[in-house]
Amino acid sequence: MTDPWQAFGAAASPAPWHDLYPASMPDGRVLELPIRDYGDVGVTGLIANQASFPVVRALSGWMADAARALSPEVVLGLPTLGQVFAPQVAEMLGHTNWVPAGYTRKRWYEDALSVPISSSTGPGERRLWLDPRVAHRLRGRRVLLVDDVISTGTSAVAGLALLALLGIRPVALSVALAQGDRWLSGWPADVPVTAAFATPLLERIGTGWREREGSRPSVLSP
């Protein structure tokens, strides 16, 4: 397998795909993503902190473009890999800072500003924390929630729960990749999802994979 998410390509290969899926970008280029075999379904992977700087900058730019019309005033970045994009998206939106949530409790953190969280790629439950010293940056403002990928939606829903502790409903969730449609059934209709790009779920065809019809999510993109 070639080293993925390091550069954009010019052309997509047809199905069946084996190791890599050619994901189409908003500018017509292609980003090859490794295919992960989940048994009954295949999904495309994106590990943001392994991506090249040019790829991260481009994805952040498309994320910012997709969310700009919603006029967010502050960005909350979800750990871990959402925080690869959150500071760049915030800066591209003209903000001077952003707010990170975290998995580690500092001595001055409060139980009242934490919620349980799990994800499809990280088994087991832990807690999502917000530093009470920066909570004032969020209160009463239009918040954009930022993550790297939405797949099953569990980590993003925890982000919604964390913001709800402050009485906040975000203007949107912004992700680099909307992966398949498994998250749609549990996602609230009043919070739009914007994405740099989207990929379908995959199904087996012989020794390879093809797109599962109807599984590519429709999201607000650039």
Q: What is the CATH number of the domain that holds 95?
A: 3.40.50.2020
143 in a domain, yes or no?
Answer: yes
pLDDT at res. 123: 59
pLDDT at res. 222: 61
For 183, other C-beta atoms within 10 Å of its C-beta total: 22
Task: Report the percentage of the chain scoring pLDDT > 70.
Answer: 95
71 in a domain, yes or no?
Answer: yes
What is the band of 3 on the pLDDT scale with cuts at 50, 70, 90? confident
85 in a domain, yes or no?
Answer: yes
139 in a domain, yes or no?
Answer: yes
The mean pLDDT of 132-150, rounded to a whole number, is 97
pLDDT at res. 13: 87
Number of domains, the chain: 1
173 in a domain, yes or no?
Answer: yes
Asked if pLDDT for residue 165 goes beyond 60, the answer is yes
Evaluate whether 201 touches 182 at the Cβ level (below 8 Å): yes
Distances (CA, A) of 142 to 55, 137, 138: 27, 10, 8
Instruction: Return the structure tokens found at 67.
Output: 């969310």
- Give ∠ CA 139-144-147 in degrees, rounded to 5: 125
What pairing do the DSSP bridges indicate for beta strands 172-179 and 74-77?
Answer: unpaired
Instruction: Return the structure tokens found at 63.
Output: 């994320």
pLDDT at res. 11: 82
What is the band of 1 on the pLDDT scale with cuts at 50, 70, 90? low
Across the chain, mean pLDDT equals 93
pTM, two decimals, is: 0.94
127 in a domain, yes or no?
Answer: yes
**What is the domain extent for residue 144?**
48-198
